[in-house]
C-alpha cells in the first residue's frame, strides 16, 4: 500500500504503507484509507510528530556505544521519514489549506 499526501500548499508526499501507517497513528488518524487533516488540527499533529521524533532520537542515541560501531542503529530514522510530511503540514497550515490522502 502507498499513501499519497496532497495539499494545494505543497508538493505531494508519498509514503509506503508501514511508514504512512506509523505517521498517521502518531497524529491520531485512522490508517488504511483516505483521510483529511484540517488546518485547525495541524498544530497538534506537528507537536505529536515532534514528540515522537524526539523520543525516537533518544532511543537511537542510547543504543549507540561509541566504543562499538556495531551498535549504531540501522535504517532510516523517524526524523528522516517524517520530515517531508512535517514540512507539508507547516506549509499547509500557513496557507490555511487541508491535507488529504488516499491509500
Would you state the pLDDT for residue 16?
A: 93
pLDDT digits (tens, 9 = 90+) for 34-83: 999 999 999 999 999 999 999 999 888 887 766 666 666 678 899 999 99
Q: Are strands 10-16 and 35-37 parallel, antiparallel or unpaired?
A: unpaired
Please, what sign has the CA dihedral across residues 75, 77, 78, 84? Answer: negative
CB atoms inside a 10 Å sphere around CB 62: 10
Inter-residue contact 30 to 24 (CB < 8 Å): yes
pTM given for the model: 0.87
Map grid coordinates 500557513 to a residue. Answer: 94
- Percent of the chain at pLDDT exceeding 90: 76
Amino acid at each position: 500500500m502507498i499513501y499519497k499526501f496532497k495539499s494545494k500548499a505543497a508538493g505531494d508526499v508519498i509514503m509506503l504503507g508501514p511508514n504512512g501507517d506509523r505517521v498517521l497513528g502518531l497524529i491520531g488518524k485512522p490508517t488504511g484509507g483516505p483521510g483529511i487533516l484540517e488546518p485547525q488540527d495541524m498544530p497538534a499533529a506537528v507537536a505529536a510528530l515532534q514528540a515522537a521524533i524526539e523520543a525516537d532520537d533518544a532511543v537511537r542515541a542510547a543504543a549507540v556505544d561509541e566504543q562499538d560501531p556495531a551498535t549504531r542503529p540501522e535504517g532510516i530514522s523517524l526524523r528522516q521519514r517524517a520530515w517531508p510530511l512535517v514540512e507539508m503540514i507547516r506549509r499547509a497550515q500557513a496557507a490555511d489549506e487541508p491535507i488529504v490522502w488516499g491509500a
